[in-house]
């Protein structure tokens, strides 16, 4: 039998899942995050994930997820959930766009410290999982919507004069790229001073966005 419900529900309503099923799914997703962060996307397999999760067979994974892509979407969703939970309150507590920008960058780096594998796994998956066909229901989509939202916020700040004029899309993606680069580097270099990197990065983009007129 095929997995009863995929991770991205394009059909009606959220899937009903029993407690055990949800627990199993979460267990598998966590294992997947760990394996992807440790070995990289290319060397990740159901077998390694099952081993990491303490499962006896890969059949279990296929049972709970519609396929590799489905599992990866679930990984993305989980990391997004954790990231949102971690970032949103911090960011929304800030008084202005400039502070929010700084908080966004520094909180991303803080997330990297608190959940070292989550962002690494996210970057790996998004880099490797190009949306093929029209079934792009969760990969980059959720990431894209976040970035669109940030871009809109930036545009607001430009209107109020807090930020200078610049292409917000380029800016948002540049910030994302710079953060992801730190994520990748943190993997290689465990001695990297993340806090300092976050602060410097925040300074950098503060300068780049601030209105100096």
Residues that bind DNA (CB under 7 A): 1-2, 4, 17-21, 24, 43-48, 55-64, 67-69
Which residues does 198 contact at the CB level (< 8 Å), separation at least 6? 105, 106, 108, 109, 110, 182
C-alpha 52 chain-centroid distance: 21
124: partner contacted, choices DNA, a copy of itself, none (Cβ within 5-8 A by kind): a copy of itself
How many whole angstroms separate alpha carbon 207 and alpha carbon 75? 34
Query: Of 26 and 170, which CB lies nearer to DNA in the complex structure?
Result: 26
Residue choice 65, 104, 163, 205 for contact with a copy of itself (CB under 8 A): 205
- 95 burial class (0-12, 13-18, 19+ CB within 10 angstroms)? exposed
Neighbours of 152 (CB within 10 A): 11
**Which of 6-14, 50-58, 87-95, 152-160 is the region at the interface with a copy of itself (rule: CB under 8 A)?**
50-58
> Please, what is the end-to-end C-alpha distance for the chain in angstroms?
65
Q: Compare residues 62 and 158 and give the one whose CB is closer to DNA.
A: 62
Q: Which of 114, 127, 149, 156 binds a copy of itself (CB under 8 A)?
A: 127
Give the Cα separation of 173 and 158 in Å (integer).
17
Contact 62/101 with Cβ under 8 angstroms?
no
Q: Which of 31, 124, 146, 159 binds a copy of itself (CB under 8 A)?
A: 124
For residues 57 and 96, which CB has a smaller minimum distance to DNA in the complex? 57
Please, which of residues 61-120 interact with a copy of itself by CB under 8 A? none
Residue 46 or 78 having the CB closest to a copy of itself: 46
Residue among 22, 44, 15, 18 nearest 31 (CA): 44
Question: Taking the complex as a whole, how short is the minimal distance between the CB of residue 171 and DNA, in angstroms?
Answer: 36
Tokens of 197: 């990197």
Asked if 178 interacts with a copy of itself (CB under 8 A), we say yes
Residues that bind a copy of itself (CB under 8 A): 1-2, 4, 40-42, 47, 50-51, 56-58, 123-124, 127-128, 130-131, 140, 166-167, 170-171, 173-174, 176-182, 184-185, 187-188, 196-197, 200-201, 203-205, 207-208, 212
């Amino acid at each position: 039998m095929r997995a009863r419900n995929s991770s991205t529900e394009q059909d009606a309503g959220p899937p009903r899942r029993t407690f055990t099923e949800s627990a199993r799914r979460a267990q598998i997703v966590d294992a997947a995050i760990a394996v992807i962060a440790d070995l990289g996307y290319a060397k990740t397999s159901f077998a390694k994930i099952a081993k990491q999760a303490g499962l006896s067979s890969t059949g279990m994974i296929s049972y709970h997820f519609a396929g590799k892509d489905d599992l990866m979407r679930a990984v993305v969703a989980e990391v997004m959930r954790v990231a949102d939970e971690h970032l949103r309150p911090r960011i929304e507590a800030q008084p202005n766009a400039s502070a929010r920008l700084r908080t966004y960058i520094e909180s991303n780096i803080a997330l990297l410290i608190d959940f070292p594998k989550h962002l690494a796994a996210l970057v790996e998956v998004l880099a490797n999982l190009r949306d093929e066909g029209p079934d792009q229901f969760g990969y980059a989509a959720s990431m894209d919507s976040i970035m669109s939202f940030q871009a809109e916020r930036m545009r607001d700040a430009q209107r109020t004069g807090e930020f200078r004029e610049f292409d917000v899309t380029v800016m948002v993606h540049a910030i994302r790229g710079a953060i992801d680069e730190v994520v990748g580097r943190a993997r290689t270099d465990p001695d990297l001073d993340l806090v300092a990197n976050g602060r410097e990065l925040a300074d950098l983009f503060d300068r780049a966005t601030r209105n100096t007129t």
